[in-house]
Structure 1
Amino acid sequence: MPTVLILGASRGIGLEFARQYADAGDRVIATARNAEGLKKVEALGAKALKLDVADPASVSGLAWQLDGEKIDVAVYVAGVYNTDGATQPPTQQEFDRLMHTNVLGAMQAIPQVAPLVEAAGGRFVFITSDMGHIAGAGSSFGWLYRVSKAALNMAVKAACTDYPAATFAAMSPGWVKTDMGGAGAPLTAQQSVASLRKTIAALSKRQSGAFLNHDGKPFAGW
């Protein structure tokens, strides 16, 4: 039975990942930062781990919680959003909030989780955004969010070279109906995750480090 780790599964895309992998018969380990999120994970029949990716002290304990595991698929989903543009500077509080969750959390998780993914010859996927595609930036809307996701993409591309037995990828889920994406988005979380899972299953070693859309199409220049 494959083992799947979802980092950030309390709601939205992360919770849907946990649901779909559990429904497929996989063994699911999923993290949430509070009691409400942990109950949602447990209700799916998944193993719940308390983890706040924005707190370095919390992330530092991830390795011992996963001791002895071999991870076939790991998905870093945790992320926060900001819509401010470049007409005003971000506050330090907002900068720290986005960078700690979207970038630092992932960079702290990689050295702890990637060896477990390598042990299974598995896949380590990071949910990013097409707003992190530098060549595709047409406005400053979500300026700080764009910067954080571009940084995450670079972290994934750089890290994959140190873990050759694992396959890394940064993937955009598309515009999804979640708390972050809003009600006007064209994709449901169920549709997005189903597409992402199909792409994850089809990943090849030559794609390691790539920046892909949920349907598997690469972004130009990554």
Structure 2
Amino acid sequence: MATVLVTGVNRGIGLEFCRQYAEAGWKVLACCRRPAQASDLEGLAIHYPAISIHQLELGNFGQIDALAHALASEAIDVLINNAGVYGDGARNVPGDIDYELWTQVMRINALAPVKMTEAFLPHIARGGRKLVVAITSLMGSMGDNSSGGAIMYRSSKAALNAAMKSLSIDLGSRGIGVLILHPGWVKTDMGGTNAPTSPAESVAGLRRVIDGFSPRDSGHFLDFRGRELPW
């Protein structure tokens, strides 16, 4: 049985990843901040016993190390760094930027996925697929930015993209691949109700890209349809 570890699974894209991978017969290591408040995830785990729920606060790197130690016997085929925060609000404009919040957004969106990859490298190296996935955003593209705004979110995703591009090179010699994936504009709490893409459609597309991975894809910035995006 193949194994996937997914972060940020209490709702939206993360929850849908758990659903689809469990339906496909995978073992799912589902990580979220507050499992006791994740009722949809708990219901999914009851229906699919191959889903195990693990408490993880991504901003606490000690917890990441502790979870990696607790799961030391696991071989992980695919690590999906899905969790993220937006941070930006109406007040986050030049002259009124909350730098403490910006630091936290960077920690969750950019640093934590790298820390997860580092902590779980031994597990991934033992897996059959040996693949790290970063769920990013086209909003992290500097080439696509024509509207400005969202400085915290944009900069954190740009940093994530750069870090994962480097990791794709650094880990290539170990046979570990890295995918940098944009899920589209998705109907989630972050994406809003006007988004054109459902979580089910987005995740189905992301899984097709993941399933079709080859080493030549490592380090490329792709959307959920497999199209290459501008940096």
| TM superposition score normalised by structure 2 | 0.89
> Which range is displaced more, 182-191 or 55-64?
55-64
Cα drift, residue 65 of structure 1: 2.2
Uncovered stretches (5+) of structure 1, i.e. residues with no partner: none
**One-letter identity of the residue aligned with 2:12:** G
Higher mean alpha-carbon deviation, 186-195 vs 52-61, is at 52-61
Structure-2 separation of matches of 1:206 and 1:89? 43
Q: 2:218 aligns with which of 188, 202, 208?
A: 208
**Is this contact kept in 2: 1:9–1:18, CA < 8 A?**
yes
- Higher mean C-alpha displacement, 147-156 vs 137-146: 137-146
Q: 1:140, 1:201 → 2: CA distance?
A: 34
Matches within 5 A, 1:3-42: 3-34=3-34, 35-37=36-38, 39=42, 42=45
The CA deviation at 1:66 is: 1.9
| Aligned 8 A contact 1:168 1:209 in 2 | yes
1:68-147 to 2 correspondences below 5 Å: 68-84=73-89, 86-120=93-127, 121-147=129-155
State the superposition RMSD in angstroms.
1.6
1:86, distance to aligned residue in structure 2 (A)? 4.8
Distance 1:103 1:114 in 2: 17
Q: Does 1:176 find its partner at 2:186?
A: yes
SS in 1 for 2:139: helix
> Take 2:65 and 2:26, find their aligned partners in 1: how far apart are those partners?
26
Gaps in structure 2 of 5+ consecutive residues: none
> Alpha-carbon deviation of 1:40?
5.1
> Which letter does structure 2 place at the counterpart of 1:128?
T
Aligned length: 221
Q: Tell me, yes or no, if structure 1 residue 59 matches structure 2 residue 64.
A: yes
Q: Structure 2: which amino acid aligns with 1:15?
A: L
Contact 2:140/2:161 (CA < 8 Å) preserved in 1?
Answer: yes
Percent identity, please: 38
Pick from 192, 195, 210 the counterpart of residue 205 of structure 2: 195
> More deviation in 106-115 or 20-29?
106-115
